Amino acid sequence: MAPSRNGMILKPHFHKDWQQRVDTWFNQPARKIRRWQKRAALPRAPRLDPSGPLKPSAPKKGDSSAEELKLATQLTRPVMPIRDVYKKEKARVIPEEEKNFKAFASLHMARANARLFGIRAKRAKEAAEQGVEKKK
């Protein structure tokens, strides 16, 4: 038996012909392929796939009427044309300001400023009110 949980390690008892009973499963990938090939070779039942609506007399919600279908025109241009908005920049010398720019720190500060905006405004308002009271 395999050890269960946090117990002592058991002494293995290899008295029977244990080498014959060991299974290595090295042939598992080959068996998988063999199973797949057997399943693929099985005869498949013919499917009945309807090519059109099952009840053509009943129009579905959102269907166009016959008159509207006659008025419709076929679109010849691409439905959604792909526009390349990327403009390649010319090579330039990187200024010192861009070299010293710390993206993570600036994002971190912007996030903190957005989070603390309300409480800072409240504290500034309270400080202004207290300043007015002290002057009186």
Residue 12 lies in a domain: no
Crossing angle of the two packed helices 103-115 and 117-135, in degrees rounded to 10: 60
Q: Which pair of tokens denotes residue 79?
A: 């439905």
For residues 63-82, average pLDDT: 85
Residue 28 is predicted with a pLDDT of: 95
The per-residue pLDDT for range 76-114, each reduced to its tens digit, is 887 888 888 888 889 999 999 999 999 999 999 999 999
Domain that holds residue 111: 101-136
Residue 131 lies in a domain: yes
Residue 47 lies in a domain: no
Residue 120 is predicted with a pLDDT of: 97
Residue 116 lies in a domain: yes
Q: Please tell me what DSSP assigns to residue 51.
A: S
Residue 45 lies in a domain: no
Residue 29 lies in a domain: no
Residue 76 lies in a domain: no
Residue 10 lies in a domain: no
Is the Cβ–Cβ distance between 60 and 52 less than 8 Å? no
The per-residue pLDDT for range 4-57, each reduced to its tens digit, is 788 888 888 877 888 888 888 999 999 999 999 999 999 887 877 777 778 878
Count of the separate structural domains present in the chain: 1
Residue 130 is predicted with a pLDDT of: 93
Residues 10, 15, 20, 21, CA torsion sign: negative
User: Could you give the CA distance from residue 32 to residue 26 in angstroms, rounded to a whole number?
Assistant: 12
Is the Cβ–Cβ distance between 72 and 64 less than 8 Å? yes
